[in-house]
Amino acid sequence: MNKRKIVLMLSVFFIISFSFGLIACEKPTEGLVFEITEGGYTVVDYDGSDTNVIIPSKYNGKPIVGIGHSAFAGCLHLESISISDSVKSIASEAFDDCDNLAKVNYLTEESYFDGIQNWAQIAFADMESNPLNCGANLYINDELAKEIEILTMSTVMDYAFSGCTSLSRVHISGAVTTIGKGVFASCDNIVSVSLGPNITTIGIGAFEKCESLGSIDIPDGITSIGESAFEDCVSLGVLKIGSGVVRIGESAFNGCTNLMSVMFEIVDGWKVYESYALDNGIVILESLIADSKSAIEFLTVQYQDYIWVRE
């Protein structure tokens, strides 16, 4: 290896190291209020006036591990926030009514791919605890998150990407078995979702109000589709329900007003139950489920408030 290549490689190494060092050493924005908690510090309030807030990885030499209840609630002047990957949990309503928040930047010393995996493992208490739910874009070290892969964990945590407007394509596979509650709810610009063979459960409201999603193929490994999982996916035109599905929750496809094709891989054994009368199911004839037109009618209108069970 010649001297010029060695110099170039060392230069790149120092640039990357310097950038990662900046992430670790960034000072918290003035006005952040901290409390010492188990494992480090938690941000419990913000009384500053800056429109751009930075939550670094450490404060007073200890890690910043959480954001507390209503910590930023009602911060109408907040336009962007940078959150270090040291933050592992965000409490209820932490970002409630932050109506002008447009950018969420996740600070990490890892790659874009690993940053996505880590973000998907944050414990969000509810939808309003996720800053993306304000209609913000997600960035990983200032790289806009448009197309993402989630592969390395068994469960994608509840509300992980709820409200994120930057996402367009999502691929979930690998070790993932469960897609949690509201994970992609109100992600208006998702046009494509690919689900892997190891997934067994789609949680309540997981893809609710994904208004640009045009089709979904539920693979054979999935056994349960949660309540309101695809509710109000108004662009959904093509739906395939795999052979492994044995339960479809109430309103799972309610409001999917543009469905043109529904195919059940297995059409026999289906009953529908009202939630308050689980001992008195109504049998759905195979011939009706096999017919796409009647299947659409049953899923989205006649029995959309029922629990579907294949016995």
List the CATH number of the domain containing 256.
Answer: 3.80.10.10
**pLDDT tens digits along 266-292:** 999 999 999 877 778 999 999 999 999
Same domain assignment for residues 197 and 287: yes
pLDDT, position 2: 53
Chain mean pLDDT for the chain = 92
* Domain termination residue (choose one: 92, 123, 144): 144
Q: Which of 120, 144, 168 is a domain's end point?
A: 144
SS3 33: strand
Q: What is the 3-state secondary structure (H, E, C) of 76-139?
A: CCCCEEEEECCCCEECCCCCCCCCCCCEEEEECCCCHHHHHHHHCCCEECCHHHCHHHHCCEEE
On whether residue 6 sits in a domain, the answer given is: no
CA distance 29 to 294: 57
- Mean pLDDT value of segment 51-72: 97
Write out pLDDT tens, residues 106-146: 999 999 999 999 999 999 999 999 999 999 999 999 999 99
Q: Examine residue 83 and state whether it is found in any structural domain, yes or no.
A: yes
| 297 shares a domain with 156 | yes
Segment 31-51 shows an average pLDDT of 97
Element of type H or E holding 144:
strand 143-144
CA angle 114, 182, 233 (to 5 degrees): 110
Both 120 and 56 in a single domain? yes
CB 265, CB 240: distance < 8 Å: yes
d(CA 259, CA 18): 52
Mean predicted confidence (pLDDT) in 51-74 = 97
Residues 124 and 167 in one domain: no
The verdict on residue 2 lying in a domain is: no
Question: Does 242 reside within a domain?
Answer: yes
Percent of the chain with pLDDT over 70: 92
- Do 282 and 162 lie in one domain? The reply is yes
- Say whether both 162 and 290 belong to one domain: yes
Q: Where are the beta strands (DSSP E) in 167-295?
A: 169-172, 178-179, 192-195, 201-202, 215-218, 224-225, 238-241, 247-248, 261-264, 270-273, 282-283
Is residue 101 located within the same domain as residue 151? no
> Cβ(84)–Cβ(57) under 8 Å?
yes
Residue 7: pLDDT above 70? Answer: no
Other Cβ atoms closer than 10 A to 203:
24
Q: Is residue 268 part of a domain?
A: yes
| 168/120 same-domain check | no
CA distance 94 to 11: 41
- Among the candidates 144, 162, 185, a domain finishes at 144
176: amino acid identity, one letter: V
Would residue 60 be called left, alpha or beta, if left means φ above 0 and alpha means ψ between -120 and 50 degrees?
Answer: left
Cα separation, 205 vs 185, whole angstroms: 6
**90, 122 Cβ separation under 8 angstroms:** yes
**Do 33 and 59 belong to one domain?**
yes
User: Residue 202's Cα: distance from chain center in Å?
Assistant: 12
Q: Do residues 156 and 119 make contact, with C-beta atoms less than 8 angstroms apart?
A: no
Q: List, in sequence order, every residue forming a beta bridge with 41; answer none if it has no partner.
A: 36, 64
Domain containing 238 equals 146-311
| Whether residue 202 sits in one domain with residue 63 | no
Residue 20 in any domain: the answer is no
Q: What is the pLDDT of residue 276?
A: 76
Residue 9 domain flag? no
Regarding whether 154 and 140 lie in a shared domain, the answer is no
In the prediction, which pLDDT does 6 show?
39
Assess whether 78 and 194 both reside in one domain: no
User: 7-11, 32-36, 106-110, 278-282 — which is least confidently predicted?
Assistant: 7-11
pLDDT in tens, 67-86: 999 999 999 999 999 999 99
Buried b (16+ CB within 10 A) or exposed e, 41-59: bbbbbbebeeeebbbbbbb
Rg for the chain (alpha carbons), in Å? 22
**Total count of domains within the chain:** 2
> CB within 8 A of 156, min separation 6: which ones?
120, 150, 172, 176, 178, 179, 180, 183
pLDDT bucket at 26, cuts 50 / 70 / 90:
confident
Torsion from C-alpha of 78, 112, 40, 156, nearest 10 degrees: 90
Classify residue 8: in a domain, yes or no: no
What local confidence, expressed as pLDDT, does residue 4 receive?
47
Q: Which of 20-29, 122-131, 166-175 has the lowest mean pLDDT?
A: 20-29
